[in-house]
Amino acid sequence: MFYGTDLTSRLMLGTAQYPSPRVLRDAIAASGAEVITVSLRREGPEGGAFRDILAASGCRVLPNTAGCHTAREAITTAQMARELFGTRWIKLEVIGHADTLQPDPFGLVEAARTLCADGFEVFPYTTEDLVVADRLVEAGCQVLMPWGAPIGSGQGLRHIDALRAMRAHFPGVALVVDAGIGAPSQAALAMELGYDAVLLNTAVARSLDPVAMARAFGQAVAAGQGAHKAGLMPPRDMGVASTPVFGMAELA
């Protein structure tokens, strides 16, 4: 549940870097995603054709503040996105490091507090830091989006124990792994940890066949979610026979 909105698909798909508008359109359809993200800088005020693709997809648009390096930049961008897209949803990014694209925790919390007070429903891109996460929840965020790894790196879930701890620490908060996912298996793992969704872009858009890859990610997210709900087998220190001992023949 994301700010009162329940989704069938737990894959959120980015819309940048695709080789053509047709491939973007087909990839969205193949993924089964119900939420697509778009940067205001990517869309632009004259992006009518691109906006048509978004509208035709039937997906809910989650604007983001990609490329913002200060709280003030992010707040202004979010306000413009609300006016352009007619939504209170905003994926909040305040980048603090140019190489790793790690979020700036101070600017992020400042911007989140201002936007939540202004009626936005904020999806903050953050790290696995529990202190920062607590501050974001206190600011009014009902969703947290910790990274799996740096944006576009394809490294997957670098700190699984930290992500698992975040899930345990925030049982009532919607959690989305955002950034660093490079393979469907990594997306499935995030869902097996109990996360509510996965957001990715580059792994689909820059693949050899974005449509096929989008479909694979949609299937992986569904499989991981199903496995979590079914109850994963806990690891054991020793082997345990699957064949019952009782009733076995006694051979002389």
Domains and CATH numbers, the chain: 11-230 (3.20.20.70)
Q: Are 173 and 137 contacting, i.e. CB atoms less than 8 angstroms apart? A: yes
pLDDT at 53: 86
Q: Is the pLDDT of residue 216 over 60?
A: yes
- How many of the other CB atoms lie within 10 Å of CB of 231? 7
What contacts 243, CB < 8 A, 6 or more positions away?
none
Give buried/exposed letters for 237-246 (b at 16+ CB in 10 A, else e): eeeeeeeeee
Residue list for the binding site: 152, 179-180, 201-202
State the pTM of this model: 0.90
Q: Is the pLDDT of residue 97 over 80?
A: yes
Residue list for the binding site for 1-deoxy-D-xylulose 5-phosphate: 152, 179-180, 201-202
Region 181-191: mean pLDDT is 97
- How many of the other CB atoms lie within 10 Å of CB of 185? 13
3-class SS of residue 35: strand
Of the listed ranges 16-25, 49-58, 108-117, the least confidently predicted one is 49-58
What crossing angle do the helices spanning 210-230 and 21-31 adopt, rounded to 10°? 20
Q: Is the pLDDT of residue 47 over 60?
A: no
Residues recognised as catalytic: 91
What does the block give as tokens for 230? 């079914």
